[in-house]
Amino acid sequence: MRDGNVNNLKFVINYLLKNTNFKIFYTGGGDIEDININHKNFFSYKNFSSKTSQNFYRSSIQTLAKFHITNSGGNSKIMHFNNSKILFIDAWPPVTFQYNSIFLFKNIINRNKKYINCYDYLKMYERACENQKNKNSLKESHQIYNKFVNARDCKIIDNTEKQILKSIKEFILFISNNGKIDFKNDIYKKVPKYFKKTLIENNCLLSSGNFNFKNK
């Protein structure tokens, strides 16, 4: 439920192939059959399977490429050390950030079927931390964090194409030599002060696409 989905990834790939000249290297697993894209600028392990192992192919791309689009996961740590710029779509949880990144978080519906913006979720997390009984207890801090990560009382919904499109356009501007991204956008203005400091220090943007969810 927390992972990204293949349809959203396919939407991103097709948009980039149509509107840019980027060479796109897919490093995912067995779901490549579900993507089924044939284009001169699209590559997967199939193109290199006779020359190297899948693990070496994947780690090579993650290490050498400067721009990445992914969902939350351990693979982003390699990209972090490579000083890459990353767009996270279908990202979770909305309480952690990574350097040089744009985040489009999954959509959150509470038990009352009400949509919760990512900045409101951050405010809820901040209040929970402020109300922590023992401020010196790492165990209690970890319990609070896990509560918001697991979000057991909430329904977590994948991003829509409208949200992703907004984020892709921001990402292209972010990685452009001539582009200037506004890190202090409308969402930044709504998050708690602590997170504002974290976002700026980490060169991190909460995508405007987080605004574009319509709960049916």
Cα torsion through 163, 151, 100, 103, rounded to 10: 0
Which has the closest alpha carbon to 199: 97, 60, 59, 83? Answer: 97
For residue 194, give the amino acid letter.
Answer: Y
As averages over each run of 10 residues, the pLDDT of the chain (216 residues) reads 72 95 85 78 92 91 90 69 88 86 93 91 92 91 93 91 95 86 91 91 93 72
The per-residue pLDDT for 88 is: 93
The residue assigned the tokens 């991003």 is: 159
pLDDT of amino acid 3 = 61
Provide CB contacts within 8 A for 185, sequence distance 6+. Answer: 205, 206, 208
Cα-only R_g, the chain: 18
